[in-house]
Structure 1
Amino acid sequence: MPRILAIDYGIKRTGIAVTDDFQIIASGLTTIPSETIIAFLKEYFAKEKVEKVIIGEPKQMNGKPSESAEIIEKFVIKFKSEFSEMKMERVDERFTSKMAFQTMIDSGLKKKQRQNKALVDEIAATIMLQDYLLRFKIT
């Protein structure tokens, strides 16, 4: 069964998570510089079967787009033009970074390790993907 991949796109860094082959468990894959995301995805899609890509949609508490929404929307347009055959869904990513940071604390990571913003982005993508699986995946 093909995988589902999640992207937590940011101005500087992009966290990426992916499901197992059975689309049950989400795991962090990596964090990469955002300017390399298209090249990374081309290479990854050539090696792995991916059924769908989930891209975070940043919103404010009132449901309106956040400040970074415009930047992410530009990425979504580029993604659609580069990978027109790939299924893509947008999901609310509110609180994923805060949840990722709390997960790091709960895991017992030391303060210096918790300052690793790349790890926060990867965990945020994983949380977003696991939440998607729990909410929308029909098993």
Structure 2
Amino acid sequence: MARILALDYGKVRTGIAVTDELQLIASGLTTVETKNLIIFLKDYVKNETVESFVIGLPKQMDNTPSESEKLIQPLVKKLSIEFPTIKMERQDERFTSKMAFQSMLDSGMKKKKRQNKALVDEISATLILQAYLNRI
């Protein structure tokens, strides 16, 4: 089987998570500068078989798209052009940043490490991916 890769897209950084080859476990992979995202993904898919990208879908509490969805749409279009054989999936990402921060607290992580926004983005991507896995 192939891996599923999840993206928690942001203006500055994008958190990335990935499944194992059996698509059972979601794990944080890394956080990359968003300007380098496509280059990173091209390198990654050269070495790993990726079945689909799961991209966070930011929504308001009333289920309407949030403002950041306008930033994500060009990424979705670019990914479909750059990686035409890889499926694109979307997953509601409401509360993932809060849940990521809470999981850092619950694990006893020190304050200095909890302030690492890149780590929060990576954990958020993992939560997005796990929610997707639970849904399919």
* Residue 6 of structure 2 is aligned to residue 6 of structure 1: yes
In the alignment, which residue of structure 2 is the partner of 1:101? 101
1:25 and 1:4 mapped to 2: Cα distance?
10
CA distance in 2, matches of 1:53, 1:26: 13
- Stretches of structure 2 lacking an aligned partner (at least 5 in a row): none
Question: Hey, which bits of structure 1, 4+ residues long, moved more than 6 A?
Answer: none
SS across alignment from 1:128: helix
Gaps of 5+ in 1: none
Structure 1 partner of 2:21: 21
Letter in 2 for 1:124: S
Q: Is the 8 A contact 2:20 2:26 kept in 1?
A: yes
Deviation at 1:134, TM superposition (A): 1.2
**Deviation by residue 1:78-109 (Cα, 9 ceiling, x = unmatched):** 11111111111011111111100000000101
**How far apart in 1 are the matches of 2:135 and 2:70?**
26
Distance 2:30 2:12 in 1: 14
For this pair of structures, how many residues does the alignment match?
136
The structural deviation recorded for 1:116 is 0.4
Alignment of 1:97-136 (within 5 A): 97-136=97-136
Q: How far, CA to CA, are the matches of 2:42 and 2:85 in structure 1? A: 13
CA distance in 2, matches of 1:84, 1:90: 16
CA distance in 2, matches of 1:75, 1:53: 11
Aligned ranges 1:20-59 → 2 under 5 Å: 20-59=20-59
Q: Percent identity?
A: 63
SS in 1 for 2:126: helix
Distance in 2, matches of 1:46 and 1:129, equals 21
User: Which amino acid letter does the alignment assign opposite residue 67 of structure 1?
Assistant: E
**Displacement, 1:111?**
1.1
Shift of 1:74: 1.1
Deviation by residue 1:39-89 (Cα, 9 ceiling, x = unmatched) = 111000000011111001111111111111100111111111111111110
Shift of 1:28: 0.2
* Deviation, structure 1 residue 24: 0.4
Question: Normalised by the size of structure 1, how large is the TM-score?
Answer: 0.96
Normalised by the size of structure 2, how large is the TM-score? Answer: 0.98
